[in-house]
Amino acid sequence: MSVPQLLTEFVDYVDFNQRSLFVSAAAIAFNPTFWNIVARKEYRDHFLTRAFGGNAQRACYALAATIFSLGLLRDFLYERALRNQPSHPALEGENVTYAAYALLAAGNILVISSTWQLGITGTFLGDYFGILMDKMVTGFPFNITSAPMYYGSTMSFLGSALLYGKPAGILLTLHVLIVYIVAIQFENPFTSGIYARRERERAKAGGYEEKKEL
């Protein structure tokens, strides 16, 4: 069977009449859109920090709790969407199950180890609140990929799709990957700009101190 034929057969096992499929896709797209919009607004006018009485740490933790809760809702909607979709016989074998558990394990390792390395504020956009890391994290899992949270999450989505044996889950995983790649294109340059600004300010302050000593 050719690749186009295989893809056509898999798509035939996707029930596009199920509203839950599109609700799940919308939730997947909403989450990174939401946190990028909120974080950039916070960076520009500190509206969350002001709402928490000028405490950037508390504001960041509140956003973290919101993002985490939205993630749980997204995962619930994804699982519900999969339950409403037909299974493909080719995805019900023992080897597929092993691959599914391997992807889930690897994905969770990337996500958990990333959170461990960055901490809560580093993971949940603390940079936008002015809570900056002292230096770039280069250890595992950042020595494998610059976006372990995103790619680990994608692997978990794919693992769940295979575990349930649902072609619709594979389609949604592709959607997840595209959404995250787009998010990375927006986030990385902006975050790099935040740290570049700090370095310029440090250099400026260092030059000022040198002049005072002279």
95 is in an annotated binding site: no
107 is in an annotated binding site: yes
Whether 78 contacts 159, CB under 8 Å = no
Whether 96 contacts 158, CB under 8 Å = no
213 is in an annotated binding site: no
Q: In sequence order, what are the residues at sequence separation of 6 or more whose Cβ sits closer than 8 angstroms to the Cβ of residue 29?
A: 175, 179
Torsion of CA 20, 36, 112, 141, to 10 degrees: 120
Q: How far apart are CA 129 and CA 190, in angstroms?
A: 13
Q: How far apart are CA 129 and CA 45, in angstroms?
A: 10
196 is in an annotated binding site: no
Q: How far apart are CA 109 and CA 194, in angstroms?
A: 28
Write out the binding residues.
105-107, 187-188
Annotated binding site for S-adenosyl-L-methionine: 105-107, 187-188
